Amino acid sequence: LQQRRGIRLSAPAAVQVTVRDALNQALDEELERDERVFLLGEEVAQYDGAYKISRGLWKKYGDKRVIDTPISEMGFTGIAVGAAMVWLRPVCEFMTFNFSMQAIDQVINSAAKTCYMSAGAIAVPIVFRGPNGASAGVAAQHSQCFAAWYGHCPGLKVVSPWSSEDAKGLLKASIRDDNPVVMLENELLYGVPFEMSEQAQSKDFVVPIGKAKIERQGTHVTLVSHSRPVGHCLEAAAVLAKEGVECEVINLRTIRPMDIETVEASVVKTNHLVTVEGGWPQFGVGAEICARIMEGSAFNYLDAPAVRVTGADVPMPYAKILEDNCIPQVKDIIFAVKKTLNI
């Protein structure tokens, strides 16, 4: 009515939301939306989650929808996969994806392959989620990035959010998807606030799986990353902009299926490519991106070899100074950009 009378209404401002709260919102909204959705994992219920992602959900939805499990990844993952085969929609939380190795038979042999092996007759709508990659001071058995491992396997979709909008939209899209989805979060991002638009605050908001996002436009070099290193790329781009180098930063968001078209279009524009990831270099996400570019038409537009910035090819040390040298830092990205631009 006020709009009809010519009164100008201001749009609701974007709000600051942490990644933790964005994930909590997504779980709450999807549990409310579909009674087939349930959450299970270690300490997800009465303790509100090891990282407080499921805070308040057990009190709201009860024991049948938010389920504490024993410390037995193979057991509760098998239960979740079986539930998905009869069209429930489980969200299976790993306290760290390093512990998903205890259940990888269930994730790959049971969940990922079933749709193909049944000629499409059996869908497995399940989400495997939890923190992935290096945290801080947790050493080798808690610090590996599994993006390349799970991205290697047909039958899985693999998503890796950076911002709060990524986290909320990708989790909601993953829960609604009829395929098994691996959602690789990052513990160090849980408490980080990001601006969340009015659109992202809607219960209908989803981020399409398989679509990358250009976080910063640029003309001199393409930076492609996922998860926490996206923030490092943006920091590096801000530093390089003061030196006259404009970086185009692509937030991959989905590892499988990979949005190589967005990367190709950027490479055609910038003629240079640097990939950044926290995982090990051999057979990594960056290696896959470089191979796809080499095999496609965008290769003809490269003015220099593509450069990868990765984690060090060692199990993660405990000591902080060694840990810092094993994880890509802003200075490493700046060095790589200058190397590929020959400046």
Residues tagged active-site: 73, 142
Q: Is 243 helix (H, G, I), strand (E, B) or coil?
A: coil
Residue 329, Cβ density class (10 Å: 0-12 exposed, 13-18 middle, ≥19 buried)? middle
Question: Cα torsion at 55, 60, 62, 68 (round to 10°)?
Answer: 0
Q: What share of the chain is helix, strand, coil (3-state, %, to 5)?
A: 40, 15, 45
For 5, residues 6+ apart whose C-beta sits below 8 A from its C-beta are: none
Contacts of 304 (CB under 8 A, 6+ apart): 271, 272, 340, 341, 342
Q: Residue type at 148?
A: A
What 3-state DSSP class applies to 71?
Answer: coil
| Distance, CA of 200 to CA of 47 (rounded, Å) | 28
